[in-house]
Amino acid sequence: MADPRGFLTTQRETPKRRAVDVRIRDWKEVYEEQPFGDLQKQAGRCMDCGIPFCHQGCPLGNLIPEWNDLIWRGERSEAINRLHATNNFPEFTGRLCPAPCETACVVAINTEAVTIKQVELRTIEEAFNNNLVLPLPPDRLTGKTIAVIGSGPAGLAAAQQLTRAGHTVAVYERAERIGGLLRYGIPEFKMEKSIVDRRIAQMEAEGTRFRVGVNVGVDITGQELRTKYDAVVLAIGATNWRDLSVPGRDFKGIHQAMEYLPWGNKQALGELTIEAPINANGKHVVILGGGDTGADCLGTAIRQGAASVTQLEIMPRPTQERPSSQPWPTYPMIYRVSSAHEEAGERLYAVSTEEFLGDADGNLRALKLVETKFINGKFEKVEGSEHEIPADLVFLAMGFLGPEKSEMISQLEVQLDDRGNIKRDDAFATTEEGIFVCGDAGRGQSLIVWAIAEGRSAASAVDEYLMGETQLPAPIEPTSRSLTV
Ligand SMILES: Cc1cc2nc3c(=O)[nH]c(=O)nc-3n(C[C@H](O)[C@H](O)[C@H](O)COP(=O)(O)OP(=O)(O)OC[C@H]3O[C@@H](n4cnc5c(N)ncnc54)[C@H](O)[C@@H]3O)c2cc1C
């Protein structure tokens, strides 16, 4: 175990965020690097519990006490081996995961959790810096071919596992670049895109083939794919966004978050070849939806120079402490302050939009809001609470309703479940022979850590389908539900 008295002698300390007035002038990541010695002390707080609840909290089953101990001892190479044993992309989860492992940490029962996410991130960054992340091509090829559709974290995890098992894998992506929401949704200030690029380089060197700009169902049909490949993995995400059909929805200036964020990322990377059609500069911005996507719009709008930003949430403001209905080790709904929230803007809770208001030219000018109360599982309007807030730009960040019901879905004839996701059994198999599904496409909108866990598990199922047996690990079954998220 790490330092036996570490949790008694060392306080939790996370890396510092760069000063707000500095970081909002660039798009670089928000966090500063913590000195390695300080990180080792933090890893030393791990108690190596008899029952490590953090394993249960993490959908990947990360071997957290083991790599905490190794980092505490300074054994970087062994630490990254233990981390990679369960997680293909710790550099994504180390930056972006809400860390259900930490809310399940036993130290967190009566004090602050071990900084697991930070130890994870630093372990992989030390590994990249010390040239310890090398391509792992297979020793021999099986002769089997697999098409993975979609290059988000689920598709990438499935592709890497299957390539390393010796199969010939092609990843089809309709966008210009690889990465799914890692590339186009998550802003640069949360994760710089060079982080995605260096992992893609490793995958290419291992033999995974990438076909970008190919919209499956349009540029190549589902039938063609089935003829060409021995198995198909659908990792197409849940990109069917939820809209808000209230009066005034057609006024100019109301956009979906995912219509906006990709332009912000292009701007951040200096890749704009035309003027971005949506830009918050000088505008009064209102964001509908209090989650991660909304916070990403907030941070982007601030960096673009918005005049004001207001984020609206229909739910009441969560409490600072765990509610008694969400005890340890669950992942609680508590009041959280993301880096974007720290930068600027106002958050309004328990409000709902009744109407968008515009001017004679059809431009948005304001929102008509009402206060809401959550009674018997329903939101009810507080009578007499109507009021207006000014707005030139609105971003809808209200979640997603499963995968797009595209041409590809009908061509492949896969069935959907009653939530509109692609139906699958416990072996990630869809209703069609040889076609598998993983990530948000099968699970519904979720998290990167779940997408990676599903990609790994689906790869194991595909390998078994093709070879009759498999050595690939399968951290989860699709029906499993985490204790915490
Ligand atoms: C703005 C935003 C911020 C988020 N922030 C976080 C966060 O901080 N932490 C976190 O854990 N989770 C976050 N999430 C959720 C997380 O990004 C997703 O759960 C995760 O990316 C799902 O991975 P996936 O591989 O299933 O799908 P995706 O990442 O959505 O990738 C699906 C890919 O399939 C491609 N595709 C679809 N149809 C076709 C087709 N017919 N042909 C070819 N390609 C196709 C798409 O272009 C896309 O690239 C965020 C989500 C959003 C929208």
- Domain residue ranges of the chain, discontinuous segments joined by +: 6-129, 145-239+401-467, 254-396
Closest Cα to atom 13 of ligand 1: 447
pLDDT along the chain (485 residues), means of 10: 88 96 97 94 95 94 95 96 98 97 96 97 96 97 98 98 98 97 97 98 98 98 97 97 97 98 96 95 97 96 97 94 94 94 95 97 98 90 96 97 95 96 95 97 96 98 97 76 37
Residue 109 is given by DSSP the state G
CB 351 within 8 A of CB 389: no
For residue 302, the 8-state DSSP code is H
Residue nearest to atom 45 of ligand 1 (CA): 150
Q: What is the DSSP string of 205-235?
A: HHT-EEEET--BTTTB-HHHHHHH-SEEEE-
86, 475 in Cβ contact below 8 A? yes
Q: Measured from the CB, is residue 174 less than 6 Å from ligand 1?
A: yes
Give me 200's structure tokens.
């893609």
Question: In this structure, what token pair is assigned to residue 466?
Answer: 């093709």
Our answer on whether the CB atom of 173 is closer than 6 Å to any ligand 1 atom is yes
181 lines ligand 1 (CB under 6 A): yes
Residues 6+ apart with CB under 8 A from 104: 53, 54, 56, 57, 58, 328, 329, 330, 331, 483, 484
Three-class DSSP category at 245: coil
CA of 198 to the centre of ligand 1 (A): 19
| Span from the CA of 430 to the centroid of ligand 1 (angstroms) | 20
Ligand 1 atom nearest residue 239's Cα: 30
Name the H helices within 104-221: 116-129, 153-164, 181-184, 194-206
Nearest ligand 1 atom to alpha carbon 215: 42
**Exposure b/e, 309-328, CB count within 10 A at least 16 = b:** bbbbbbeeebeeebeeeeeb
The reply to whether ligand 1 has any atom less than 6 angstroms from the CB of 96 is: yes
CATH no., domain 145-239+401-467: 3.50.50.60
CA distance 87 to 454: 11
| CA 412 / ligand 1 centre spacing (Å) | 21
CA separation, residue 214 to residues 167, 175, 217, 230, 262 (Å): 21, 7, 9, 19, 18
Assigned CATH class of 254-396: alpha beta
Contact 398, 242 (CB under 8 A): yes
198, 255, 186: which is closest to 27 by C-alpha?
186
**Is there an atom of ligand 1 within 6 Å of 153 CB?**
yes
Q: H-type helices in 421-447, by residue range?
A: 440-443
* Ligand 1, pocket-test mutation among 225, 236, 300, 422, most atoms within 8 A of CB: 236
In eight-state DSSP terms, residue 114 is P
How far is it, in rounded angstroms, from Cα 65 to Cα 54?
9
Mutate which of 182, 446, 448, 456 for ligand 1 pocket (most atoms within 8 A of beta carbon): 448
Residue 378: Cβ within 10 Å count: 8
Q: Is 208 in contact with 171 (CB distance < 8 Å)? A: yes
Can you tell me the distance from the alpha carbon of 94 to that of 43, in angstroms, rounded to the nearest whole number? 14
Residue 483's pLDDT is: 35
Residue 95, C-beta contacts closer than 8 angstroms, at least 6 positions apart = 29, 121, 190, 191, 195
Q: Which CATH architecture has domain 6-129?
A: Orthogonal Bundle (1.10)
**Spatial CB neighbours of 255, under 8 Å, sequence gap ≥ 6:** 278, 393, 394, 395, 396
- Interatomic CA distance for residues 136 and 129, integer angstroms: 18
Write out the DSSP string of 54-84. Answer: HHHHSTT---HHHHHHHHHHT-HHHHHHHHH
User: String of b and e for 337-349 (b: at least 16 CB within 10 Å)?
Assistant: ebbbbebebebeb
Tokens of 267: 């701007």
Cβ(256) – ligand 1 distance below 6 Å: no
What integer pLDDT is reported at residue 4 of this predicted model?
Answer: 87
Cα of 48 vs centre of ligand 1, distance in Å, is 34
CA 144 – ligand 1 centroid, Å: 27
Report the phi/psi class of residue 483: left, alpha or beta, with left for phi > 0 and alpha for psi in -120 to 50: alpha
Which residues have C-beta within 8 Å of that of residue 6, sequence separation ≥ 6? 41, 44, 45, 46, 72
Predicted pLDDT of residue 1: 72
- Return the amino acid letter for 115: T
Same fold, 145-239+401-467 and 254-396: yes
Q: How many whole angstroms from 196 Cα to the centroid of ligand 1?
A: 13
Alpha-carbon distance 63 to 228, whole Å? 38
pLDDT at 479: 56
C-alpha dist (Å) from residue 146 to 89, 123, 205:
21, 32, 17
Residue nearest to atom 38 of ligand 1 (CA): 236
How many Å lie between the centroid of ligand 1 and the Cα of residue 439?
A: 8
Ligand 1: residue whose CA is nearest its atom 21: 181
Question: What pTM, to 2 d.p., does this model score?
Answer: 0.96
Task: Report whether residue 448 contacts ligand 1, using a CB cutoff of 6 Å.
Answer: yes
Q: Does residue 170's CB lie within 6 angstroms of at least one atom of ligand 1?
A: no
Distance, CA 154 to ligand 1 centroid (Å)? 8
- CA terminus-to-terminus distance, the chain: 28
Reading the block at residue 51, the tokens are 């029952």
> How many whole angstroms separate alpha carbon 155 and alpha carbon 214?
15
Looking at residue 482, what is its pLDDT? 39
CA dist., res. 62 & res. 66, Å (int): 9
Is the CB of residue 185 below 6 angstroms from any atom belonging to ligand 1? Answer: yes
